[in-house]
Structure 1
Amino acid sequence: MPKIKPDSESSLKGKKVAVVAAKWNSFVTDEMLEGAVSALKAKGIEEDDIISMRCPGSFELPLASKYCIDHLKADAVVAIGAVIRGGTPHFDYVCDAVTRGITDLNMKSGVPVAFGVLTTDTVEQATERAGMEKGNKGAEAALSAIEMLLLKEAMKHEGS
């Protein structure tokens, strides 16, 4: 059975990647956005091919990501948000909606949409995961988007 091996980063030339970050909890998402853009550049995505934008909150990430796919023709999207538990069930509804929305968008569009949404119990947990102390989860999501984009490209070539 043939083994599909993603091409190197050289096959990323000209690929457009959108990074959509929620404005809500921007003290966390700002760091994650910076980490994502830095990771994309480090993997060879040209600055002109990185589109970064903001949406109101994590709940809006699936639709904002869809806009990037439909209108900007993004080859991949990195969705960044931070949902921090409060004293009401709102946390559960937002986490469920954004997870379901991004999952559905991946399956329906076929475009990699990386899940860079923190779902934490405390502000401290969120800030740790947005900085370098426990790894920047925005950067990790960007790397995941790149890996999926490379896998998709490898499968295109395998089938031809």
Structure 2
Amino acid sequence: MRKLTTYSGERTPHDLRVTIVASRFNPSIVDALIEGAARTLMRLGVRSRHIELVRVPGAFEIPAAVKKVIAARQPDAVIALGAVLRGETPHFEYICASCSQGLAQVALESSAPVAFGVLTVDTVEQAVARSGEDDANKGSEAAASAIEMVSLFRLLG
């Protein structure tokens, strides 16, 4: 196989500015995602003073807030965090679809990477498993992804 020119982002930030947009609904879960994201950002070298947190009521409001944050604050990356738990009505499907499609649209239109860390789970137990203090914390994963994508975007010009 011939050698390919490969572009890959790195997880070594310098003076990056990152905004976390997080819902207030399901606070114990979302707060743990925020902690995981912030911990990972700082472990990777982002200064705490360069991390902003924007709170919104629920997952439905996340895409609009991310779009506004990118336009007004111009961060290097945005991390979207929330937790939607399945209930007894179709509301779960509508909120999950609106949030994920809205964030995908904002990400495609933005020059800043948007990392998706919104849990869409069936049970509280699943949410707890994905928001703990270990490597399975999806806030932490979203933060690492955001940093890598900033590096990749810069490399690609």
2:134 is equivalent to residue 153 of structure 1: no
What is the match of residue 123 of structure 2?
122
Relative to its length, the structure with more helix (as a share) is: 1
Give the deviation of 1:128 after TM superposition. 1.2
Does structure 2 conserve the Cα–Cα contact (< 8 Å) formed by 1:76 and 1:112? yes
What is the match of residue 42 of structure 1?
43
Find the residue that maps to 1:140 and give its secondary structure: helix
Give the deviation of 1:64 after TM superposition. 1.1
Q: 1:4 aligns with which of 4, 7, 10?
A: 7
What is the match of residue 108 of structure 1?
109
Give the deviation of 1:110 after TM superposition. 2.7
C-alpha distance 8-33 of structure 1, shift in aligned 2 (>3 A): closer
What is the match of residue 52 of structure 1?
53
Does structure 2 conserve the Cα–Cα contact (< 8 Å) formed by 1:114 and 1:144? yes
- Scaled by the length of structure 1, what TM-score is found? 0.91
Counterparts of 2:124 and 2:117 in 1: how far apart (Å)?
Answer: 16
What is the match of residue 62 of structure 1?
63
- Scaled by the length of structure 2, what TM-score is found? 0.93
What is the match of residue 82 of structure 2?
81
Task: Provide, for residues 97-124 of structure 1, a one-character-per-residue CA deviation record: whole Å limited to 9, x for no partner.
Answer: 0000000001011321111010000111
Does structure 2 conserve the Cα–Cα contact (< 8 Å) formed by 1:7 and 1:154? no
Amino acid at match of 1:2: T
Aligned length: 154
Counterparts of 1:8 and 1:147 in 2: how far apart (Å)?
Answer: 5
Give the deviation of 1:2 after TM superposition. 2.7
Moved more, 125-134 or 137-146: 125-134
C-alpha distance 28-8 of structure 1, shift in aligned 2 (>3 A): closer
What is the match of residue 131 of structure 1?
132
Q: Which runs of 5+ in 1 are unaligned?
A: none
Give the deviation of 1:13 after TM superposition. 1.9
RMSD (Å), alpha carbons:
1.4
Give the deviation of 1:132 after TM superposition. 3.3
